[in-house]
């Protein structure tokens, strides 16, 4: 086990399992559904938890287990559990800790499907949710009831990029005996480690920066040994959103370059954000790396850098936003984020369409808000593409006017 505090070393070595059989550098892919027992007694001992070892793929797999150990090391938690998608991680983590009659407090702005789960499915199950402005400490405190079990949020928030103070929320949770859960997808462990600020459970869509190459759907939850065991023995085992060994291998491979990739994402995004902020047809740029941003003071405190994602508003109409996006040549119109390719999407019509119009307004998601995941291309090429598409939008306007 490598004992380094440095993220560049940890992403490559921490949590690695030495291949005792052949000494393979790369993690072997154990593409198997089940595991053979020596005899009935051994099978029984494994089911009883009296003997370590694998039983059946839904209950654990050596390749997936290595990814879990690597993620626990990167997030500085005791353990981790891997899932077949980010939403698999979000739903299993929440449902392992909630039952009928419980109440939770969640950020009003969230990833669209997380919001949909809480706003539609949870009430049907008798689980009550209060949506609050997570930047507002007194609003969070005021929402706490006798049956409140947990606080759930993202920082920065998808898609509006509002930054939430991790320590502030963790303290409220601790003092009121509540569980705190944060979705750390936007930052990745390369830029932010919520456990260091007292957050109990950290969920990730591994589809994004962790894998980083746009070829996997997966999720991970990091937390205490006790919490992870609870999730594995209940909502992971019985609801079954497990990760495949092959996907675990791809994410382990992706993790090895996480810190260098994220460094370039951040450099490129900073330049793009500065370009957009100075452009006359851009009304507002939400990027924590800009001194004008609400989250800027938390850089250096809870975030090591501002990340690769921003949201901005076109100074114009919905149609202008559409013209701009349809005129892009290098940037691809696609949801997802954290890939080598620059991806651009329109939350109101895409990722955040599960919100009703009023709910979107309450969550600060306007009709002209555009989310940009800045890729690893040369930054001059990205800025040239944005420039030419804004020019097309401008000339359309003149023709019409």
Applying CB under 6 A, the residues found at the interface with ligand PLP are 85-87, 90, 111, 154, 158, 183, 185-186, 205, 207-208, 217, 219
152 is catalytic: no
Smallest separation (angstroms) from ligand PLP to the CB of 135:
17
Phi-psi region of 324 (alpha: psi -120 to 50; beta: other; left: phi over 0): alpha
One of 165, 183, 247, 385 is an active-site residue; which one? 183
Smallest separation (angstroms) from ligand PLP to the CB of 375:
16
Q: Which two tokens stand for residue 262?
A: 């994220």
Alpha-carbon gap, residue 368 to 256, rounded angstroms: 37
Smallest separation (angstroms) from ligand PLP to the CB of 326:
24
**Closer Cβ to ligand PLP, 110 or 331, answer by number:** 110
Report the residue number whose CB is nearest to ligand PLP: 86
One of 111, 152, 209, 287 is an active-site residue; which one? 111
**Closer Cβ to ligand PLP, 131 or 186, answer by number:** 186
One of 16, 58, 237, 271 is an active-site residue; which one? 58
Q: Catalogue the long-range contacts made by 389-393 (C-beta closer than 8 Å, 24 or more residues apart).
A: 389/324, 389/325, 389/327, 389/328, 389/329, 389/331, 390/279, 390/281, 390/282, 390/324, 392/323, 392/324, 392/327, 393/281, 393/314, 393/316, 393/320, 393/323, 393/324, 393/327
CA 214 to chain centre: 14
Phi, psi at 376, each rounded to 5°: -100, 10
Give, to the nearest 10 degrees, the angle between helix 258-278 and helix 379-400: 30
How many CA atoms does the CB half-sphere of 150 hold within 13 Å?
19
Smallest separation (angstroms) from ligand PLP to the CB of 311:
13
111 is catalytic: yes
Smallest separation (angstroms) from ligand PLP to the CB of 266:
17
Smallest separation (angstroms) from ligand PLP to the CB of 337:
6
Is residue 373 within 8 Å of residue 343, measured between CB atoms? yes
One of 46, 65, 208, 304 is an active-site residue; which one? 208
- ∠189-347-343 over CA atoms, to 5°? 60
**Closer Cβ to ligand PLP, 350 or 383, answer by number:** 350
Is residue 129 within 8 Å of residue 104, measured between CB atoms? yes
Alpha-carbon gap, residue 58 to 134, rounded angstroms: 36
**Closer Cβ to ligand PLP, 323 or 342, answer by number:** 342
Which residues are tagged catalytic?
58, 111, 183, 208
């Amino acid at each position: 086990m490598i004992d380094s505090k440095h993220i560049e070393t940890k992403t490559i070595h921490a949590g690695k399992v030495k291949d005792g059989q052949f000494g393979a550098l790369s993690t072997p892919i154990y593409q198997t559904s089940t595991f053979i027992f020596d005899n009935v007694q051994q099978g029984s001992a494994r089911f009883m938890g009296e003997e370590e070892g694998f039983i059946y793929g839904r209950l654990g797999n050596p390749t997936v287990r290595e990814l879990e150990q690597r993620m626990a090391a990167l997030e500085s938690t005791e353990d981790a559990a891997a899932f077949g998608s980010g939403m698999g991680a979000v739903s299993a983590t929440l449902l392992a800790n909630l039952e009928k009659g419980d109440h939770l407090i969640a950020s009003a702005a969230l990833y669209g499907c997380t919001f949909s789960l809480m706003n539609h499915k949870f009430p049907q199950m008798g689980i009550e949710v209060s949506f609050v402005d997570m930047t507002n400490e007194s609003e969070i405190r005021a929402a706490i009831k006798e049956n409140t079990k947990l606080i759930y949020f993202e920082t920065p928030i998808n898609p509006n990029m509002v930054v939430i103070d991790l320590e502030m929320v963790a303290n409220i949770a601790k003092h009121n005996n509540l569980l705190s859960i944060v979705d750390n997808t936007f930052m990745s462990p390369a830029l932010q480690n919520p456990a260091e600020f007292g957050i109990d459970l950290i969920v990730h869509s591994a589809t994004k920066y962790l894998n980083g190459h746009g070829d996997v759907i997966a999720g991970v939850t990091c937390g205490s040994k006790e919490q992870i065991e609870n999730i594995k023995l209940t909502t992971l085992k019985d609801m079954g959103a497990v990760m495949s060994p092959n996907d675990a291998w791809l994410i382990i491979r992706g993790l090895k370059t996480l810190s260098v990739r994220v460094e370039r994402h951040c450099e490129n995004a900073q330049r793009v954000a500065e370009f957009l902020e100075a452009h006359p047809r851009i009304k507002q740029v939400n990027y924590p790396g800009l001194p004008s941003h609400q989250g800027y003071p938390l850089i250096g405190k809870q975030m090591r850098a501002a990340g690769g994602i921003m949201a901005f508003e076109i100074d114009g109409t919905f149609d202008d936003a559409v013209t701009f996006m349809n005129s892009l040549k290098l940037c691809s119109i696609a949801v997802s984020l954290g890939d080598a390719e620059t991806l651009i999407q329109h939350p109101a019509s895409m990722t955040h369409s599960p919100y009703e119009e009023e709910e979107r307004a309450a969550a600060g998601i306007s009709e002209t808000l555009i989310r940009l995941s800045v890729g690893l291309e040369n930054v001059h090429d990205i800025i040239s593409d944005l420039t030419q598409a804004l020019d097309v939008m401008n000339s359309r306007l003149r023709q019409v006017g």
